[in-house]
Structure 1
Amino acid sequence: MIQPKHQDEKKPFPWHLIVFLTPALLIYGTFSVYPLLDTLFLSLFGTQQGQSTFVGLQNFITLVTDDNWSQAFWNALINNFKFFAIHMLIQNPIGLLLAVLLSSPKLRLSGTYRTLIFMPTMLSVVIIGFVWQLLLSPIWGISENFLYSIGLGHYFDAWLGKEGSALITLSFISVWQFVGIPMMLIYATLLNIPDDIVDAGVVDGANPLQTFWYIKLPLILPTIAMVSILTFVANFNAFELIYAVKGALAGPNFSTDLMGTFFYRTFFGFQLQQGSASMGAAVATLMFLIILVGVMLFLFFIQRRIQRFQF
C-alpha cells in the first residue's frame, strides 16, 4: 500500500544558498557595513589631551552651533541643496526631453546621438574639470571668442572666479556630464511601453503631445522617481568635480563648498586647518543621516503613491 506523502514534511535546508551568498556578504560587510559602523562609532569620540575619550553627541552639537564650525557646515549644506536643486530642475528635465526625442522612430541617427550624449559620463571627472577650466578661462579659454562670434560676448565673465556664479557654473558642468544617465534610464523605459497602448491612443485621436502626457508620462513616472532619488544621493556625495576645479578650499571664499569638500578638510586637514578624525566622522555621519532621511521621506510620501503598470 502506497503511503500518502505528508504535507508537513520538512524540506532540506538550502545550504547551497549559503555557499553562494557568503562571499558577497563577507565583501559587503567588510567594505561597506563595517566602515559605516566604525564611522558612526568614531563620531562619538573626541581627543582631549592627546587621548581619545567618549563625548557622545558633542561633536554634532559643535558642528551646528560652535562659531568655529557652524558657519562652514551650514554654508556647505546650503550649497549642497543648491547643487541638488539645479540638477533636479535642469538635468532631469533635459534628460527626459532627450529620451523622448531619441525614442521617436522618425529620428535618424538616434544611436549616434545617444552615444555622443552619454559619452561624457564615461570620462574622468578630473579630465572634465580640467578641460572646462581651460575653456572658461578669461586668459586662454575659447569661450569668450566663441560668445563674441555669435553676438553674446557681453555676457562673458569669469564665472568660475566669482562667488555668485562659481557654484552655478560647476553645477552646469556636472549637468552636462551626467545628463546621459537619466536620459538612458528613461529612454529604456520608453522603449518598453507596448506599441498597442500608444496606437490605441492615436486611434482615439490623441496628438503626439497628448500621447506623451496622458499615456507615456504616467507609465514612466516610477523611473522618473528612481532617477530623482539617485540624483539626490549622488549630489550629496559629490566631491570630485569641486576638488578638481577649485581644490579643497572650494573657492572663491568657500562659495563652491559642498559637504564632500567640507568633510575632506575636516577629516584630513588642509593648509592651516588641522584634521580631526572624530569631527570628520561626525560630518560623514551627518551626510549619511541627511541622505537616509531624504530617501525615507521620498519612499514614504512619493514612491508608495506611484502607480505601477506591468505589460
Structure 2
Amino acid sequence: MVSERKKKPFRWHVLVFLAPAVIVYTMIMILPLAETLRFSFFQRDTTTQVVSFVGFENYIKLFFDPYWVEPFLNSLWNNCYFFMIHMLVQNPIGILIAALLSMVHLPGKKLYRTAIFMPTLLSFVVVGFVWKLMLSPLWGVSKGLMKSVGLGSWYLPFLGKEETALTTLSLISVWQFIGIPMMLIYAALLSIPDEVIEAAECDGVTGISQFFKIKLVLILPTIGIISILTFVGNFNAFDLIYTTQGPLAGPNFSTDLLGTILYRTFYGQQLQPGDPNMGAAIATVMFFIILTGVAIYLFFIQRKLTRYEM
C-alpha cells in the first residue's frame, strides 16, 4: 500500500522576505508606468481645462500630424545615431583596453584601469559643463591644444555646428562611460581558466589569434550584455544633452534625442506650453522601443550565444 504523500507546507517566510522588494518596486516602477500609459489616452482642453478620454488620438498625432512627426522622427534618428557611435566606438575600444589590461606583464595596469574608469563616477552635469568650457571657441583650451600639436586648422566650434554637435556629444559620452565595458570585459577575461589558455598555447594558438579564436568566443555572452545595456542607456539619454545644449538641443535641434523632446513636450519650453498627455504618449513609445530592443536580444540573440562553463 502506497502511503499518501504529505503536502509540503506553504513557505510563508518567502512572501515575508519578498514583500518589501515587491512593494517598493511596484510603487516606484509599476504604478508610474501604468499611470503614464493611462495618462497617454487622455487630453486636456486648453480653454476649459477639461480632461477627456481620447483613446489613441495622441499616438495618431505623434505619428501622422506634421507638427509632431517631424521632430519625433528627428529625435529618433539622432538617438539611433547616438547608439551606433557607442556600439562602434565605445564597446570595441573597451574590449581592446580590457584585453591590454589582462596582459600579465603590463606595468602600471592598476593605474590605467583606475584612470580610465574614473570619468564614469562623474555626474553628467560636471562632464557636460567641463567639456562645454573646453570646447568653447571664446575661452576654451581645445583650440590652443590643437594648435600646439599642429592641428589648429582642424579646429571647429564642435558644439555649435549642426554637422558636428551630435557626434561630439556622442564621443564625450563614450569618453565618460568607456570604463563600464572595459571593466566587464576585463572581469570576463580574468575568469577564463588558466587550463584553457595553456591548452591553446600547447596547440600553438598564441598572441592575437588566441584572443580572437579562444578568448573572444568565451566572452561573447558578456559582450551581448554590454550591448543591451548600451542600448537601454542610450535610448534613455537626456542629462548630457540638456547640460551642454539646453532643452532645445541646439543648434537647430541637431542634438535632439527622445529624452529631450519628451522633456520639452511634458513641461513646455519658452513659448511652447507643456502637454503632459502628449509627453506621456512619447514616454510610452520610448518604453516600447526599449522593450522591443531588449526582447529581440533576449529571444533571438541571447539564445544563439553559446555559453561555455569556465
Asked whether the two chains share a fold, i.e. TM above 0.5, the reply is yes
The CA deviation at 1:7 is 6.6
Give the stretch that moved more between structures: 142-151 or 240-249: 142-151
Which of 40, 43, 47 is residue 40 of structure 2 equivalent to? Answer: 43
Query: Which whole-Å deviations, capped at 9, do the CAs of 1:215-258 have from their partners, x for residues lacking one?
Result: 10110000000000000000000000000000100000000000
Partners of 2:40 and 2:75 lie apart in 1 by: 19
What are the ranges of 5 or more consecutive residues in structure 1 without an aligned counterpart? none
Tell me: CA distance 1:152–1:19, structure 2 relative to 1, closer, same or farther (3 Å): same
Aligned amino acid, residue 35 of structure 1 = P
Match of 1:157 in 2: 156
Residue pairs, 1:110-121, within 5 angstroms: 110-121=109-120
Which of 30, 34, 37 is residue 31 of structure 2 equivalent to? Answer: 34
Which of 6, 15, 20 is residue 12 of structure 2 equivalent to? Answer: 15
Partners of 2:3 and 2:211 lie apart in 1 by: 55
The CA deviation at 1:207 is 2.3
Partners of 1:19 and 1:207 lie apart in 2 by: 53
Kindly indicate whether residue 123 of structure 2 is the aligned counterpart of residue 108 of structure 1: no
Partners of 1:272 and 1:208 lie apart in 2 by: 61
Match of 2:185 in 1: 186
Match of 1:63 in 2: 62
Count of residue correspondences: 308
Partners of 2:3 and 2:118 lie apart in 1 by: 60
Secondary structure, counterpart of 1:53 in structure 2:
strand
Partners of 1:93 and 1:100 lie apart in 2 by: 11
The CA deviation at 1:120 is 0.3
Q: Which runs of 4+ in 1 moved over 4 A?
A: 4-7
The CA deviation at 1:5 is 9.8
Partners of 2:141 and 2:4 lie apart in 1 by: 78
The CA deviation at 1:32 is 0.3
Secondary structure, counterpart of 2:113 in structure 1:
helix
Percent of aligned positions that are identical: 56
Query: Which whole-Å deviations, capped at 9, do the CAs of 1:82-103 have from their partners, x for residues lacking one?
Result: 0000000000001100110111
Aligned amino acid, residue 8 of structure 1 = R
Partners of 1:262 and 1:7 lie apart in 2 by: 64
Query: Which whole-Å deviations, capped at 9, do the CAs of 1:147-167 have from their partners, x for residues lacking one?
Result: 111111111110000001000
Partners of 1:19 and 1:9 lie apart in 2 by: 24
Residue pairs, 1:298-309, within 5 angstroms: 298-309=297-308
Partners of 1:171 and 1:145 lie apart in 2 by: 23
Match of 1:246 in 2: 245
What are the ranges of 5 or more consecutive residues in structure 2 without an aligned counterpart? none
Secondary structure, counterpart of 2:219 in structure 1:
helix
Residue pairs, 1:194-205, within 5 angstroms: 194-205=193-204
The CA deviation at 1:8 is 2.0
Partners of 1:5 and 1:131 lie apart in 2 by: 77
Aligned amino acid, residue 68 of structure 2 = W
Partners of 1:206 and 1:176 lie apart in 2 by: 33
Match of 1:210 in 2: 209
Residue pairs, 1:165-184, within 5 angstroms: 165-184=164-183
Secondary structure, counterpart of 1:159 in structure 2:
coil
Secondary structure, counterpart of 1:253 in structure 2:
coil
Query: Which whole-Å deviations, capped at 9, do the CAs of 1:185-215 have from their partners, x for residues lacking one?
Result: 1110000000110111111111211110111
